[in-house]
Chains A and B, each alone.
Chain A
Amino acid sequence: DQQVKQNSPSLSVQEGRISILNCDYTNSMFDYFLWYKKYPAEGPTFLISISSIKDKNEDGRFTVFLNKSAKHLSLHIVPSQPGDSAVYFCAASFSGNTPLVFGKGTRLSVIA
């Protein structure tokens, strides 16, 4: 039973345009959400996070939006760059000593 779902396995975007990666979750107890980026032959790298008390968090070109009522979050990358081409994982957690629950990832390709 997938508690964190990334329904789009892949996404292609032109350089300079906006990339929007989506993530849905089923457990309303999740209160902390993260995005990780993964290049081939490397481990995932932490990108940005958001607490459930917020609905938006911004860090440079990356913004994460959280819609608790829809149990949905999204990662916006503006403007997209070829170096952003990677697999992006959404993850969620409860407060306290609980592990991260990851989605299956979305492969983003930014075309020059």
Chain B
Amino acid sequence: DSGVTQTPKHLITATGQRVTLRCSPRSGDLSVYWYQQSLDQGLQFLIHYYNGEERAKGNILERFSAQQFPDLHSELNLSSLELGDSALYFCASSARPTSFEQYFGPGTRLTVT
């Protein structure tokens, strides 16, 4: 158990809908990272927050947004969902803003039908 929690575990929704994925980092960790893993793909970095502020952005679509709240949990919002958004979404946390050793949650599997 990495100490990182993600909810929900599974999500099935229709095209055009909007969903929110939630992540709680390990106790004391200030950094939260979001990744997307599509079929047969590696982990694609989406966005990084440190202590409530956005620190880095990867290949995140404009339809996607994220935020980190004062209690350090983070939410990833996906809107106008398309079939291609079906993937595993992982959240990871680390103690420092540039820690390479990130601790991953179990992921949320999103299926868009």
A99 within 8 A of B: yes
Q: Is B100 touching A100 in the complex (CB atoms < 8 A)?
A: yes
Select B98's contact among A42, A44, A97, beta carbons within 8 Å: A97
Q: Is A44 touching B101 in the complex (CB atoms < 8 A)?
A: no
B52 within 8 A of A: no
A77-97 vs B, Cβ < 8 Å mask (1 yes, 0 no): 000000000000101010111
| Contact residues on B (Cβ < 8 Å of other chain), bracket | 20 to 34
Q: Is A43 touching B90 in the complex (CB atoms < 8 A)?
A: yes
Contact partners of B56 in chain A: CB under 8 A:
97-99
Known contacts: A44-B90, A97-B55, A99-B56. The answer to whether A4 contacts B42 by CB under 8 A is yes
- Give B64-106 interface residues, CB cut-off 8 Å to A: 90, 92, 97-98, 100-106
Select A45's contact among B43, B48, B98, B104, beta carbons within 8 Å: B104
Question: Residues of A at under 8 Å CB distance from B?
Answer: 4, 6, 32, 34, 36, 41-46, 49, 89, 91, 93, 95-105
Q: Which 7 A-B pairs have the closest CB atoms?
A: A43-B104, A99-B45, A102-B42, A102-B43, A104-B42, A44-B104, A46-B101
* Extra 11 A-B pairs, beta carbons < 8 Å, given A36-B104, A93-B100: A4-B42, A34-B100, A34-B101, A41-B106, A42-B107, A44-B90, A46-B103, A97-B98, A100-B100, A100-B102, A104-B41
Question: Residues of B at under 8 Å CB distance from A?
Answer: 2, 4, 33, 35, 40-45, 48, 55-56, 58, 90, 92, 97-98, 100-107
